[in-house]
Amino acid sequence: MVSVNLNNRSWKHVVWLPVVCLLVFGIPYMSLKILNLGIDLFYLVFLVAGVAFLWFYGNRTSLRLRYALNSGWALGAILALFIGLGLLSYTLAVKSNPINVQFTSNIIIILWRGVLFGIIGTALISAFPFITVWRAFAGAEPGNLRKLGVLAIAVIAISLTSLSYNIGLSGFNNDRITYNVKMSLLTGIPTLLSGNPFASPVAGAFLYAGESMFSGNESDTTAGVKLAAKKSGGSN
């Protein structure tokens, strides 16, 4: 794993983990279950709140993103494209099989519900936990053993963040939650292995772009939003 300078080590960054878990749980729960918003309005609320939260965190903690951008960028780009294209291929191959699945080629839907939502959603669920864990436990020049420990903690943090989002989205549905946590971990691999927090959102954009093309399959990430909206009475 490539070292990345995300400022000096401080355990205080761990405090941000329950904050982001509460955020990704609260937005879908309030939007779809309490306020009964439609799908696209939910996406808008999620994107605006997500961008605002990431900006606030970076500004409040003096995060120097230029160091993160320069760290492991080549490996991060390779892994992001490799995993992203792999997930896109998997989605196109598997999700198109069920009879009840409908396909869309609407570029606006793909860009809005797929690429843009995938970038911000993956930044919050997969990349942000890594950033906070690294800044809390790694430091500027961690040894290999410490890096492995940080990786293990980051995997747990990503899993908990994804779990929080999916419980807020659709409650305790074991099949969907298991699938989506796995997808969050897979999209997190480029950042986990390269140390570049921008890598995972790129992989996430591919995943969500592929899944935004389909509807009717309740086990994928975007269908969870659609199913929650239908149960709450929100429009498609």
Looking at the structure of the chain, the number of domains it has is: 1
Q: What is the pLDDT of residue 219?
A: 40
Q: Would 37 be classed as within a structural domain? A: yes
How many angstroms separate the CA atoms of 153 and 6, rounded? 17
CB contact at 8 A, 125 and 149: no
What is the reported pLDDT for 210? 87
5 in a structural domain: no
Give the pLDDT score at 220. 46
Is the residue at 126 inside a domain?
Answer: yes
- The secondary structure element, H or E, covering residue 103 is strand 102-103
Among the residues of the chain, which ranges form H helices? Answer: 16-28, 39-60, 65-70, 73-94, 107-109, 117-122, 128-137, 144-170, 174-194, 199-212, 221-232
Question: Which domain range does residue 84 map to?
Answer: 11-232
CA distance 177 to 217: 14
Residue 218 domain-assigned (yes or no): yes
Domain membership flag for residue 6: no
Number of CB atoms found within 10 A of residue 157's CB: 24
Residue 89 domain flag: yes
Q: Name the stretches of the chain with pLDDT < 70.
A: 1-9, 67-70, 95-105, 139-141, 173-175, 215-236
pTM over 0.85? The answer is no
